Amino acid sequence: MTLKVAWNFPQCPVSTAFDVFRRLPVARAISPVQTGNEREDVKTLLPHLPDLPHILLFDRGYPSYDLIHHLTYHDKPYHFIFRCPASSTFKVVEDFVQSGQQQEALIWLDTASRIKTKRMGAEQKSIPLRVIRLESPDGTLSVLMTNLLNRDRYTSQSIIELYFRRWRIEEQYRDEKTHLDIETFHSQSVNGVKQELLAILVMCVISRVMMVLVTENDPDRLHSPQFKNATIFLAQDAALLTVENLETAVQIFQELLIEISRVKYYKPKKPRQSFPRVSRKPINKWRQNRAKKIAVA
């Protein structure tokens, strides 16, 4: 007799709007795995952003004629920085890379002829964008594309430094997976899984705010509260903060702040080793056959 066990793992694209300076998640979009599109998720997240000036930072999976057109001709236009690969991207970007002569240049991206739109007038013109050559420490060449055209106010180096702040959201996803165990779902329904994914954000926001309360009087500190410790103690006592007795809730809150400040985190002096992302997506037969061919070769 053969026993066959099937392992099921919920899958869905998750996009998060994240404040890279305050390290706070702002909004989250959850889409069906069959129809999910991270570029469309951006359009869903935009109305949830605070009504403040923004510079949106996007990784290599986001550049598209449609999204750049949407951000440029939105009712409230947005400033943005996209990272583009050096090849298999916009023709004007590839031409810039192949020229090999300049660190940065001004290009014109013709979005109007590439997308379906009923609007006429000014938006039918090509969009002026700056492109900046970016070489990673491992030698990988890519391009930063932005509508921050004022070179005196936004130097190429400041744009590069600003883009690398995008790594904060990768750290957020790492914290959700390692410290908050986000991939261990308790619910068996679609709405239940969505609630868990959103509840994680609520925990992160409350934890970050409490960490700021602990350290706001010591801006020159060399350490910060440990995020993992903050979320653990918050999870233990969060329900007690809703007690009817206000004095008891205040006392519990103060005790939480003490516990959060007790465990300190010191930034590593050397960059940590990076690891490839782990995908839980089932491997189809085409990928298996390709892997076998590579192994044989």
Find where tokens 């839980």 sit.
Answer: 280
Amino acid 3: pLDDT:
45
Please report the DSSP string for 268-292 in residue order: -SSPPPP-PPPP-SPPPHHHHHHHH
- The amino acid that residue 80 corresponds to is F
Task: Kindly state the tokens that stand for 201.
Answer: 């954000």
What is the predicted pLDDT for the residue at 287? 58
Cβ atoms < 10 Å from Cβ of 41: 21
The pLDDT value recorded for residue 245 is 67
Q: Within the chain, which residues score under 50 in pLDDT?
A: 1-7, 118, 120-123
The CA distance from 275 to 168, in Å, is: 16
pLDDT value at position 292? 55
- The model's pTM is 0.76
pLDDT attached to residue 128: 93
Identify whether the C-beta of residue 43 lies closer than 8 Å to the C-beta of residue 106: no
Closest to 194 in 3D by CA, of 12, 18, 43: 12
Q: What is the pLDDT of residue 50?
A: 86
Q: In the chain, helix, strand, coil percent, each to 5?
A: 40, 15, 40
In the block, which residue shows the tokens 């920085």? 81
Q: Please report the pLDDT score of residue 2 as a whole number.
A: 46
Q: DSSP string of 154-195?
A: S-HHHHHHHHHTTHHHHHHHHHHHHTS-TTS----SHHHHHH
Residues with Cβ < 8 Å from 172, sequence gap 6 or more? 16, 18, 23, 25, 204
Residue 20 structure tokens: 């890279």
Residue 96 pLDDT: 92
So what's the pLDDT on residue 251? 72
Query: Of 63, 54, 62, 67, nearest to 27 (Cα)?
Result: 54
